[in-house]
Amino acid sequence: MFGRTSSLGLSDGPAWVEDEVWVFDARPDLRIVDLEGAPALDPQQTRLPDEWKVLPAYRMRPGEKLEFVEHRRGDSDPAPDQLDLTRRLWLDFDGGGYTIEDRIVGTLNAGWRLVMAPPTLLGRVAAGGSDQLITRLDREGEGVSGVELRSSSIDMVAESRYEGSAASLPAVGWSHDFRSVDATLNLPPGWRLIHARGVDQVENTWVNQWTLLDLFLMLILAAAVTRLWGFPSGALALITLALTLSEPEAPRWIWAYVLIAEALVRMLPAGSFANVVRGARMLGLAVLVGLSLLFVVQQGLHGMYPALERSSPARGGPPPPPITSARSVSFAVADPDASPEFELPAEGTAEQRVPHAAPRPRKVSYEQKIGVDPNAIVQTGPGLPHWSWEGVSLHWSGPVAQDQVVSLALLGPGMNLVLSFMRILLTAALVLVTLGIGARRGGRRGVGSEAAVAAVLFALLFAPAAAAASETGHDGVSKLASHDGRSPDPELLEDLRRRLLAPPDCAPNCASIGRMRLQADPGVLILRLEAHTQIPTAIPLPGDPQGWMPTQVLVDGTEAEAMARERDGTLSLALARGRHQVMLKGPISTLDVVQIPLPMRPARVEGKARGGNVEGVHDDGMAETDLQLTRIRAGGEGETGDLVSESLPPFVRIERSISLGLEWKVETRVIRVTPLGSAILLAVPLLAGESVTTEGHRVEDGRVQVTLGAKEGTREWSSLLARQSVLALRAPDSTEWTETWRIDSSPLWHVEFQGIPPIHVPKEDVAREWRPWPGEELEIRVMRPEAISGRSMTIDHSELVVRPGSRASDATLVLTVRTSRGGTQSITLPDGARAQRVQVGGSEQPIRQEGRVVSISLKPGKQKVAIDWREPGEIGARYTTPSIDVGTESVNAEIEVEFPPSRWILFASRRQSGPAVLFWSFLVIAFLVATVLGRSPWTPLRFRHWALLGVGMTQAELVVAMLVPAWLFVLGWRKRTPDLSPGRFDLRQIAIAILTLVALAGLFESVRQGLLSQPDMQIAGNGSAGSTLRWFIDRSDHALPTLSIVSVPILFYRGLMLAWALWLASALVSWLRWGWDAFQEGGLWRRLRRPS
């Protein structure tokens, strides 16, 4: 029977049996059908062969028909794409756009092309370990770009740019729906996310940081302030707490403590307990003032210098990011030139149960098979940022449509600076209210009102402790078990895992089969293997459940003990290290042809078969991946009674594999379907534009004359195919063969199909396949997409290190470059600069400099370029870093200036991630403190004295800077309170003497440091310190940014410190005279009286 049919049946004529049992082997990849018209049987209750009992069975009698109801053919209605998207987004430092890295994993069922919709600009795509060409089709519209893929199972990484408003951007950016989407939004220093819409789950936003407890605390505290000091103060408290409670290091529970103490002081009658409460109130106010001072200083510094929000980063690894985050997770596409030595096997395989099994043969890569266009300019993309600062996790709990939009409420550095100063002013105002300065008491509400305030705030103050105790009560056992159990360190566990899973030195060739001897006798087959293993491992054994399988396995003469059956039914044998003799024995089926796969090919094969032939062994003993035993039947063999077998008419299958690459090729195979024994003559028609290139094939009238000998199973040839926009295929109306069409297209072409649907192929197959009925047609429309304009070279990282000198400056520029084509790159140096050395990829190159331009030869791929040069010039009051033009836009630019110790740095260019000269901020704080201290009558120092003292003390340690004012105020307290009991008086005198010695030692050390050491300008930010200044620029134009440093010779600093030291010596004389008068006020010592 040949051709398309809808039913099969038995004729009504004479039958040799009353009924028959038919089984149906469904092929859902070809079509999905239901069978009707015949009763179904339980195959287990029949005498069918065992391999048939797994198929549905039907009873057929003469005159009955089995109807085939077809529901679907091939992939006529492919399943939707099942794609998962993981995104990483970096907001530009200036908020002008986003750099996006997408990883797409899943199955692509509906087509071969992924398209990115505007306004997102696709810059680079890597799939299968290599960069892909980004193209556009005319029908897709302006600004649309995409990539051609040739595998249903994809693992792709794409880099893109989104230029537009930072407040709104597409959720996916692609013209496709996704099954799941997760994203990480990286915000630069100075930026904060208030809220996000269009996302199911979002972490680390200002709104999400608020809890119900925080809201309750804010409202209760504001109500308490309103009760105690009136409505205006309550409104001030509400605004202040709303802006500060969610900030780190902000005063929180101390507010409740101070308000409780204030309410109790007002409520309690005069007495000793009231005095204790007043003391507690003063202590709380002191703590509140201290915490508030730390908070407002932090707010001021972080508002002006956002990069100071975190400690200096650890630098290391190429390229070193200036700002790092532990939440940053990266992923990358594997290097196409790298071949891993070891891969984790699939779950359930013998390789997993017995480690380091011998590897399977590697497949030829798609690029090697189909080819790529050497003239295509593959885009290298915009370059990915290497920094991470504030990571915000975005998660969608279900499928995400392509038109979904994410709205982000962002605050930039300017607005955050304004909010920081608002928090400073509001916090200071609220502290003054609690101190009773500038605020009036609330209206008369009686003692009961103040008691209620105290009770509520007291309960609120102890609520967190109660909640923590409750939580500990619920899960304290697990926490104690976790801490007391001393669980291993995660880093230790990870190191142990790496060591356990590390491949041996011999991988992937730890096992081999040196020789195999085959002996086939009637009904039995014996294989003797000589196996060599360098480590305990497993080897796959010859055999196939569909052909021949061993029933007995001996290792060195004894029964094998460690064996595993794979999912496909084959066997694997575990062997110890060394040389082993393995014997496999099993029966041979009665089929004329028996296939024996060799998953691990021996180095040499010998063998003989009685009554048959062994095919697949070369003359030199090398074997193919499969052996075939062919039975030779005797003349009368096979006769059974009156039944006489008749030879079937010749029938073959013709497979046409069409490859659309740089050249269009056709591989044609003619495969015999009927048994061997008779010759077959065919005239196979060629396709339109096909030209046979294989020798020995005769072509007449557009047909290849094919002759298959009696013992010949296949014949194949190669052809070239002329390029054409429409390729038509038609299955001939012939009963001599059936055809199979396979289309394998390079990503250079966009292919569309019209006609019959393809069959369902495995996900890893990159080709489409058709099984047409006679007379069916397929039309293939082929078009070449236009490559979009993009970069062929990307600078992923640049580092400029400048070392200015008194007469000349040395500089080093290191670039990490990725280029798809190579070529010559020009780098423009400053005026007067002379290159000293040029390195590319670690090897030196001849210096080619013409004027300011240095030319460098680059190879395709990723490489590092280093240039050293020297330029004349002195360091002036304003120093500017060299102007360098690298020839293209770049990302992750680092600039480092190592200033000589002979210069006193005063100012440096401000950037979001760069050095901050904090000396001036501390000087402002010192002047503010001097203004407050100068108004105190306890010391003879006025504002000018405190200001000058503070200027010099900025170079001292913080403890010394706080110790000297404390010493002066202690002396003032001594002068104002001379009357104490003799014991306390003497102890105070001793303490003041010790404090005086310590303070004077601190002052002397400050003078010594100021006169002999380098000035400490409190330079911090992005790893800057001392005379080393570092900047980081996320994106740069052709020319790297120039930065300025204001400095003066170090002699200016020495002269100022000498003048300050002389003033201090002069002032200290008068301070000591006043201090001595205070110290002896009321006497120097009082004798203790003995009790009578």
DSSP string for residues in 275-305: HHHHHHHHHHHHHHHHHHHHHHHHHHHHHH-
- pLDDT category of residue 98 using cuts at 50, 70 and 90: very high
Reply yes or no on whether the pLDDT at 343 is more than 80. no
pLDDT score for 150: 81
| Interval 404-415 mean pLDDT | 92
Task: Output the CA–CA distances (angstroms, integers) from residue 35 to 2, 70, 287, 610, in the order listed.
Answer: 19, 9, 87, 44
Residue 875 near residue 1047, CB atoms below 8 Å = yes
pLDDT greater at residue 568 or residue 202: 202
- pLDDT category of residue 372 using cuts at 50, 70 and 90: low
Task: Output the CA–CA distances (angstroms, integers) from residue 1048 to 400, 901, 1042, in the order listed.
Answer: 59, 11, 20
Query: What is the spatial distance between Cα 933 and Cα 950, in angstroms, rounded to a whole number?
Result: 11
| Interval 160-167 mean pLDDT | 90
Structural fold of domain 652-782: Immunoglobulin-like (2.60.40)
Structure-token pair, residue 724: 């054409």
Reference 336, options 861, 892, 757; nearest CA is 861
Reply yes or no on whether the pLDDT at 342 is more than 70. no
- pLDDT category of residue 319 using cuts at 50, 70 and 90: very low
Mean pLDDT of the chain: 82
| Interval 704-723 mean pLDDT | 89
pLDDT score for 68: 87
| Interval 259-273 mean pLDDT | 84
Structure-token pair, residue 280: 């507690």
Largest CA distance in the chain: 147
Query: What is the spatial distance between Cα 191 and Cα 91, in angstroms, rounded to a whole number?
Result: 9
The distance in angstroms from the start CA to the end CA of the chain is 136
Task: Output the CA–CA distances (angstroms, integers) from residue 927 to 58, 820, 942, 953, 1052, in the order listed.
Answer: 101, 59, 12, 12, 22
- pLDDT category of residue 638 using cuts at 50, 70 and 90: very low
- Identical fold for domains 84-208+378-411 and 511-631, yes or no, is yes
Which residues have C-beta within 8 Å of that of residue 547, sequence separation ≥ 6? Answer: 589, 594, 595, 596, 597
Tokens 């902000």, located at residue: 250
Residue 600 near residue 540, CB atoms below 8 Å = yes
| Interval 147-152 mean pLDDT | 84
Task: Output the CA–CA distances (angstroms, integers) from residue 1 to 4, 63, 928, in the order listed.
Answer: 9, 18, 103
Q: Where are the alpha helices (DSSP H) in 956-1049?
A: 958-976, 982-1012
Give the model confidence (pLDDT) of 459-468 as tens digits.
555 555 554 4
- pLDDT category of residue 8 using cuts at 50, 70 and 90: confident
pTM: 0.71
3-class secondary structure, 980: coil
Residue 745 near residue 780, CB atoms below 8 Å = no
Count Cβ atoms within 10 A of the Cβ of residue 40 and give its class: 0-12 exposed, 13-18 middle, 19 or more buried: exposed
pLDDT score for 124: 92
pLDDT score for 11: 74
Reply yes or no on whether the pLDDT at 896 is more than 90. yes
CATH architecture of structural domain 793-898: Sandwich (2.60)
Lowest-pLDDT choice from 134-148, 438-452, 809-823: 438-452
Residue 882 near residue 1004, CB atoms below 8 Å = no
| Interval 1004-1024 mean pLDDT | 87
Task: Output the CA–CA distances (angstroms, integers) from residue 635 to 645, 677, 692, 843, in the order listed.
Answer: 13, 13, 41, 76
pLDDT score for 320: 36
- pLDDT category of residue 764 using cuts at 50, 70 and 90: low
- pLDDT category of residue 796 using cuts at 50, 70 and 90: very high
3-class secondary structure, 38: coil
pLDDT score for 625: 75
Half-sphere exposure of 986 (CA within 13 A, CB side): 7
- pLDDT category of residue 957 using cuts at 50, 70 and 90: confident
Instruction: Provide φ and ψ at 874, rounded to 5°.
Output: -95, 160
Structural fold of domain 84-208+378-411: Immunoglobulin-like (2.60.40)
Residue 615 near residue 523, CB atoms below 8 Å = no
Residue 896 near residue 800, CB atoms below 8 Å = yes
Task: Output the CA–CA distances (angstroms, integers) from residue 212 to 202, 207, 215, 216, in the order listed.
Answer: 18, 11, 5, 6
Query: What is the spatial distance between Cα 199 and Cα 27, in angstroms, rounded to a whole number?
Result: 43
Reply yes or no on whether the pLDDT at 480 is more than 70. no
CATH 3.40.50.2300 given to domain 511-631: no
| Interval 477-492 mean pLDDT | 53
Residue 101 near residue 125, CB atoms below 8 Å = no
Whole-number percent of the chain with pLDDT over 70: 85
3-class secondary structure, 272: helix
Residue 760 near residue 74, CB atoms below 8 Å = yes
Q: Is the dihedral of CA 249, 254, 258, 263 positive or negative?
A: positive
- pLDDT category of residue 193 using cuts at 50, 70 and 90: very high
pLDDT score for 14: 64
Reference 542, options 506, 492, 487, 585; nearest CA is 585
Query: What is the spatial distance between Cα 136 and Cα 788, in angstroms, rounded to a whole number?
Result: 6
- pLDDT category of residue 15 using cuts at 50, 70 and 90: low
Q: Is the dihedral of CA 488, 490, 494, 495 positive or negative?
A: negative
Reply yes or no on whether the pLDDT at 779 is more than 90. yes
Reply yes or no on whether the pLDDT at 716 is more than 90. yes
Domain boundaries, the chain: 7-73, 84-208+378-411, 212-310+415-470, 511-631, 652-782, 793-898, 917-1079
| Interval 846-869 mean pLDDT | 92
Structure-token pair, residue 985: 């008086």
Give the model confidence (pLDDT) of 1036-1083 as tens digits.
999 999 999 999 999 999 999 999 999 989 998 888 998 898 888 878
| Interval 908-937 mean pLDDT | 85
Query: What is the spatial distance between Cα 859 and Cα 838, in angstroms, rounded to a whole number?
Result: 15
- pLDDT category of residue 144 using cuts at 50, 70 and 90: confident
Containing 350, the helix (H) or strand (E) segment is helix 350-353
Q: At what angle do helices 982-1012 and 1050-1079 cross, to 10 degrees?
A: 170
